[in-house]
Copies of this chain bind each other. A is one copy, B any other.
Amino acid sequence: MQVFRFLTAGESHGKCLTAIIEGIPAGFEINPAFINEELKRRQTGYGRGGRMKIESDTIEITSGVRFGKTLGSPVTLVIQNKDFENWQKIMSINPDDYTDEKSFTKCRPGHADYAGSIKYNHKDLRNVLERSSARKTAIEVAVGAVAKQIIAQVCDIKCSSKILQIGNAKDNFETEIDIAREEGDTLGGKFEIMFENLPVGLGSYVHWDRMLDGKIAQAVMSVPAIKSVSIGNHHAYKMRGSEFHDEMFLEDGKIIRKTNNAGGIEGGMSNGENIIITAVMKPIPTLRKTLNTVDLKTMTEAQSHFERSDVCAVEACTVVAEARIACILADEVLMKFVKDSFEK
């Protein structure tokens, strides 16, 4: 991203999650209440486990905003981990506090445990889990909530989403989830995200790394547990050119389209129609019903470690994906419309 750049940090049971966003022009209104609403959306959703009940995430802005408006300087967002006092010693930065309490060495298939332990030479898989946990998406939702406020102020871009399927259910999701929970199992699903009021010409065809569809695909696919990203009509592969492409007409002197199979992106650019993205989430890899795995310490076969988790997090995942896409759009919108400061 060229203008709206950010780094996030924080362990699942560490003191806090932090993000710094650099590049926001001066003059944007940032409403913490909206960020908190988005954080809440991520935490609720049928199928979430116990932790969500303990912690109601709240944003704190410690830089870059004064009297409700961005200063042009970097914006820092912080979410305290409310459970931290119980983990203070386990997550201590101090070598003298060393403890193997909460250590584990049995890989959880589907998680970062195995590859992470090799890559970073971690003997204790807690050192992998703490950052690979989906907990880190909370701060990404906060960053996205800032991005959403920016794109709303510049172009009135709006975002919405819906769940298309959970496991085998296309409706009555709660029943599907209840059954899975009872069986100690987990579920994935499919969802759709829509952005409305897009200006024409975000992204570009001139170089592969400027194509909007590619940027969105990265943003969505890097959400933990996402395995598939599609733009526009799912049936693209089996439709003929004459059916698929969105013809253009004139209505009252304005160009209109009657279809949106392209999902709002042609030639790597927004074409003014709604952007429509579908994504698939795999089932959550931490489940009560254990999986066969290997204990990396003893190098013996074992049953996977279970840490309190959810049965289904498709709703949360949708919120995270929205946030990620919003960051991409904020970057593009800032590049295209706003220089150093913004005024309504």
8 Å CB contact of A238 from B26, B67, B167, B267: B167
Tell me if A287 counts as interface (CB < 8 A to partner B).
yes
8 Å CB contact of A18 from B62, B95, B127, B131: B62
Docked CA distance A2–B220 (Å): 21
Residues of B within 8 A of A72 (CB): 119-120, 122, 127, 131, 204, 206
8 Å CB contact of A2 from B3, B17, B219, B248: B3
Residues of B within 8 A of A291 (CB): 242, 245, 247
8 Å CB contact of A222 from B27, B186, B213: B213
Smallest CB separation, A223 vs chain B (Å) = 8
Docked CA distance A301–B183 (Å): 59
The answer to whether B242 and A289 touch across the interface, beta carbons within 8 angstroms, is: yes
Tell me if A49 counts as interface (CB < 8 A to partner B).
no
Chain A interface: which size bin? Answer: 35 or more
Query: In chain A between 72 and 95, which residues have their CB closer than 8 angstroms to a CB of chain B?
Result: 72-76, 91-95
Residues of B within 8 A of A205 (CB): 112, 116, 128, 131-132, 224
Residues of B within 8 A of A228 (CB): 228-231, 234, 236-237
Most buried by B among A64, A66, A341: A66
Closest B residue by C-beta to A220: B217
Query: In chain A between 98 and 142, which residues have their CB closer than 8 angstroms to a CB of chain B?
Result: 98, 107, 109-116, 118-122, 127-128, 130-132, 140
In the A-B complex, the 7 residue pairs with the smallest Cβ-Cβ separation, listed nearest first, are A112-B267, A214-B222, A68-B95, A119-B201, A186-B241, A217-B221, A9-B74
8 Å CB contact of A63 from B14, B20, B132, B294: B14
Question: Could you name 15 residue pairs across A and B whose Cβ atoms are closer than 8 Å?
Answer: A8-B207, A14-B63, A66-B93, A68-B93, A72-B131, A107-B248, A115-B201, A115-B269, A165-B237, A187-B240, A208-B324, A214-B219, A218-B221, A229-B229, A266-B285
Docked CA distance A8–B217 (Å): 21
Residues of B within 8 A of A200 (CB): 114-115, 118-119
Residues of B within 8 A of A118 (CB): 200-201
A 257-273 binary contact with B (CB < 8 Å = 1; else 0):
00001110011111110
Tell me if A211 counts as interface (CB < 8 A to partner B).
yes
The answer to whether A73 and B20 touch across the interface, beta carbons within 8 angstroms, is: no
Smallest CB separation, A14 vs chain B (Å) = 5
Smallest CB separation, A208 vs chain B (Å) = 5
8 Å CB contact of A11 from B63, B221, B226, B267: B63
